[in-house]
Amino acid sequence: MNMRLLNDLFNFILLTSRKYKIDESHDISHSMNVLHYAHNIFKTQSQINPTVLAHKNVIYLSAALHDMCDKKYMDEAHGIKAVNKHIDTITTKEENMAITQIIRTMSYSKVKKDGFPDLGIYQSAYHIVREADLLSAYDFDRAIIYDMNVNCKNFEDSFEHAETLFENRVFKHNSDGLFTTEYAKLHYPVLHSQAVQRINTWKNIITRPKNM
């Protein structure tokens, strides 16, 4: 992606985040993280399956824009329409449709409910973007921040909710069969370990002696 396109893309994400009060757990910083993971997965997968090279534009745009229609913050259909309009001049009609299908079906909750969709030639692109988002979910502090912002909880309650979320969902990503790419399978254990360490550090901070 060239610099002009990135500038335009991130400005759109910033404006959309401000408009819908998307907090930092799903705003531009998250978009950047997912885009980085998608790039790394794409590089590995393109060596295994060169046909995915033709879908680089779809992968990168889907990764960056996937939360700009999140129903937690806005009407999904309205968000999708805004995304489609914004990328209309830089994508083909087929690419635009593929991006819509990817971001509409990639969430954890939708996959757990309906399974993986059949996106034909864009199936590999779908998994790359979806797994990039899953890898970003190992950021434990992000889960706390989301709960504090959206559910208006105090830190202690949000920490407990985040820990439960990780135990019931994030730490089961692999055992639930959610990883299909070699990059994700290779790198998730490190992120898992870092999340465990983060949780333990927070527990040490929370339970520190009163005289400290």
211: pLDDT strictly greater than 80: no
Reported as half-sphere exposure (CB side, CA atoms, 13 A), residue 196 has a value of: 8
212: pLDDT strictly greater than 80: no
Position with higher pLDDT, 122 vs 209:
122
Q: Pick from 101, 172, 111: which is nearest to 137 by CA?
A: 172
- For residues 135 and 181, what is the distance between their CA atoms, to the nearest angstrom? 12
Euclidean distance between the first and the last CA atom of the chain, given in angstroms as a whole number: 50
> Residue 208: which pLDDT band, with cuts at 50, 70 and 90?
low
157: pLDDT strictly greater than 90: yes
209: pLDDT strictly greater than 70: no
> Residue 207: which pLDDT band, with cuts at 50, 70 and 90?
confident
In tens, the pLDDT along 81-91 reads: 999 999 999 99
- Two tokens, residue 103: 């971001």
In tens, the pLDDT along 93-124 reads: 999 999 999 999 999 999 999 999 999 999 99
Q: Pick from 100, 101, 71, 77: which is nearest to 88 by CA?
A: 100
| pTM for this prediction | 0.94
- Two tokens, residue 147: 């709960």
**pLDDT at site 184:** 98
153: pLDDT strictly greater than 90: no
185: pLDDT strictly greater than 90: yes
> Residue 4: which pLDDT band, with cuts at 50, 70 and 90?
confident
- Angle at alpha carbon of residue 62, lines to 38 and 12, rounded to 5°: 115
Q: Among residues of the chain, what percentage have pLDDT more than 70?
A: 98
Give the C-alpha distances (Å, rounded to integers) separating 46 from 3, 51, 53, 56, 61: 23, 7, 6, 9, 17
